[in-house]
Amino acid sequence: MTLLASVVSCSRVRLFACFLRLGSQQASTLQLHTGASLAAKSYYEVLVLGGGSGGISMAARMKRKVGAENVAIVEPSETHFYQPIWTLVGAGAKPLSSSGRPTANVIPSGVEWIKARVVDLNPDKNCIHTDDDKKISYKYLIIALGIQLDYEKIKGLPEGFAHPKIGSNYSVRTVEKTWKALQDFKEGNAIFTFPNTPVKCAGAPQKIMYLSEAYFRKTGKRPKANIIFNTSLGAIFGVKKYADALQKIIQERALTVNYKQNLIEVRADKQEAVFENLDKPGETQVISYEMLHVTPPMSPPDVLKTSPVADAAGWVDVDKDTLQHKRYPNVFGIGDCTNLPTSKTAAAVAAQSGILDRTISLIMKNQIPVKKYDGYTSCPLVTGYNRVILAEFNYNAEPLETFPFDQSKERLSMYLMKADMMPFLYWNLMLRGYWGGPAFLRKLFHLGKS
């Protein structure tokens, strides 16, 4: 914190640092769920599906509303990961061990952990079924099931990850392979991909490209590296202010960006990647690689795709202002599994958790929700080992910046925030239900500005 404050040299940031210390002290008094739970009940006032960032955050908030004994989380995983840090893990800047903690240690004390997988949702009867043949009923349901990685939709994957020279920062099983491929690079094409589906953290596929370029420069390999970003999209970023800044970096660092190119096959034994031209369906191109970073296609979890709570595309169908389900008033959604028209990021989940907290509070009192989610999301665009462009924006792809300076510029202070402050906020405040995004900081930092 002291380092960040000294770099930014701003009295408001020092005030923010003081807030964080106070928040940490408050959060540290909480006792987390660490012991074995009692036998799960068959009914809970609030049932949370998913033990990721949205699920844990909302369980902590609901515990304070209805009591821990009336809240349960359904989650099969033994380990909870802070996935945004995997960009830095894949570039060798952080150890993988720093990203995970036992799920038991992040579930709020007293909240029931149902260690099972959801296999069926029946909102008409206010119940769900799990893979161990249990039926669990609820009064209120919060769906926070995240997004599904579909590596198998690319021919040759995931089995291709058994070969060298290929990695992916999107999976705990493959993120360290990215770093290995980076270290083993000698000369040739370094290819980075973006799929033809919605993804979580849409900036991550290009962040690892910038970090790889910086690593090649640092190790003297840059002259022998042809760096290619093949994206299925038609633009480098969805917000013009930040896209312009990124285009300048791309030009300065001689990076090749090919638009409307979708990875459809990996021939890992031959070190070849096959791309389809989305503007000319059926037209393909085979490119050899010395390093390949794959961003997988993604989709709603299978359990949601055919569920009554899903829209036509399989996402949880919620009101974009309140996060309340459009057809089932006692059902709510948060995070990557929803059809909210904003980027799927941890920062978005933080902002959504504060809004959803207020929405549910009013619903419980038979009142109409009034607080509206503006689509706030954030993407710390890592452009090197000590630089970040902090993109923040809303539903309308308009910048919604927190700090009183131009965030489209690369800054060391924003890198330190990404690498050190944000993980602190996540583990100590967000997962404990005390961080609902930087809206109040935005008001604080811009106080007096007109």
- List pLDDT tens digits, range 108-159: 999 999 999 999 999 999 999 999 999 999 999 999 999 999 999 999 999 9
Closest CA relative to residue 64, chosen from 437, 439, 434 = 434
Task: Identify whether residues 109 and 82 lie together within a single domain.
Answer: yes
Tokens representing residue 53 in the block: 């960032």
Which position among 10, 18, 127, 379 bears the catalytic label? 379
Rounded-to-integer distance, Cα 323 and Cα 59, Å = 16
Q: Is residue 18 part of a domain?
A: no
Q: How far apart are the first and last CA of the chain?
A: 29
- The DSSP line for 120-158 is EEETTTTEEEETTS-EEEEEEEEE----EE-GGGSBTTT
- Rounded average pLDDT over 236-255: 98
Where is 166: in which H helix or E strand?
strand 166-167
Identify whether 37 is part of a domain: no
**31 in a domain, yes or no?**
no
Please choose, from the candidates 77, 343, 59, the residue with its C-alpha nearest in 3D space to the C-alpha of residue 201. 343
- Per the document, the length of the chain is 450
Are 307 and 436 in a shared domain? yes
Task: Print the domain residue range for 315.
Answer: 43-147+300-447
CA atoms of 33 and 56, how far apart (whole Å): 11
Q: Would you say residue 185 has pLDDT above 90?
A: yes
Instruction: Show which of 276, 298, 320 is a domain's final residue.
Output: 298
Using CA atoms, how far apart are residues 241 and 258, in angstroms rounded to an integer?
20
Is residue 11 predicted with pLDDT exceeding 90?
no
35 is a domain residue: no
Higher pLDDT, 7 or 170: 170
Does 10 fall in a domain?
A: no
Domain CATH for 72: 3.50.50.60
On the question of pLDDT at 17 being above 80, the answer is no
Tell whether the model's pLDDT for residue 6 goes beyond 60.
no
- How are beta strands 272-277 and 284-288 bridged, if at all? antiparallel
- Same domain assignment for residues 442 and 304: yes
Are both 140 and 156 inside the same structural domain?
no
Residue 16 resides in a domain: no
* Distance of alpha carbon 353 from alpha carbon 374, whole angstroms: 13
d(CA 227, CA 254): 8
- 55-92 pLDDT tens trace: 999 999 999 999 999 999 999 999 999 999 999 999 99
CA atoms within 13 A on the CB side of 442: 13
If one counts the domains in the chain, the total is: 2
pLDDT interval class at 447 (50, 70, 90): low
SS3 (DSSP) at 200: strand
272 and 165 in one domain? yes
Q: Which residue has the higher pLDDT, 403 or 34?
A: 403
* pLDDT score recorded for residue 410: 98
Question: Is 337 tagged catalytic?
Answer: no
Q: Assess whether 176 and 260 both reside in one domain.
A: yes
pLDDT score recorded for residue 445: 80
Cα→Cα distances 391→91, 216, 237, 420, 428, Å: 21, 25, 10, 17, 23
Residue 272 sits in the same domain as residue 319: no
Give the three-state DSSP class for 179. Answer: helix
pLDDT value for 65: 97
In a domain, 32, yes or no: no
pLDDT tens digits, one per residue of 345-363: 999 999 999 999 999 999 9
**Which of 2, 63, 78, 76 lies closest to 303, judged by CA?**
76
Do residues 236 and 247 touch, judged by C-beta distance below 8 A?
Answer: yes
Candidate list 10, 18, 127, 201, residue with the active-site label = 201
Q: Are residues 309 and 441 in the same domain?
A: yes
161 and 268 in a single domain? The answer is: yes
Assess whether 171 and 271 both reside in one domain: yes
Query: Which pLDDT band holds residue 15 (cuts at 50, 70, 90)?
Result: very low
65 in any annotated domain = yes
Torsion angles phi and psi, residue 300, rounded to 5: -60, 150
- Domain boundary (275, 298, 321) is at 298
Structure tokens at 291: 């390093």
170 pLDDT higher than 50: yes
pLDDT at residue 318 tops 60: yes
Give the pLDDT confidence score for residue 23 in this predicted structure: 44
CB atoms within 10 A of CB 35: 7
Percent of residues in the chain assigned helix, strand, coil, to nearest 5: 35, 25, 40
Express as a percent the part of the chain with pLDDT over 90: 88
Q: Which of 272, 298, 324 is the last residue of a domain?
A: 298
pLDDT band at 443 (very low <50, low <70, confident <90, very high): confident
More confident residue, 51 or 41: 51
Are both 350 and 418 inside the same structural domain? yes
pLDDT tens, residue by residue, 372-409: 999 999 999 999 999 999 999 999 999 999 999 999 99
* Residue 425 clears pLDDT 80, i.e. is over it: yes
* Residue 40's pLDDT band (cuts 50, 70, 90): low
If one compares 385 and 8, the residue with the highest pLDDT of the two is 385
Over residues 294-305, mean pLDDT:
98
Place of tokens 């970090």: 211
Could you tell me the pLDDT band of residue 12, with boundaries at 50, 70 and 90? Answer: very low
Average pLDDT over every residue of 341-345: 97
241 plus 323 within the same structural domain: no
Q: What mean pLDDT is reported for the chain? A: 92
**Alpha-carbon gap, residue 354 to 76, rounded angstroms:** 25
- In this predicted model, what pLDDT tens digit does every residue of 269-299 receive, in sequence order? 999 999 999 999 999 999 999 999 999 999 9
DSSP 297-335: PEE--HHHHTSTTB-TTSSB-B-TTT-BBSS-TTEEE-G
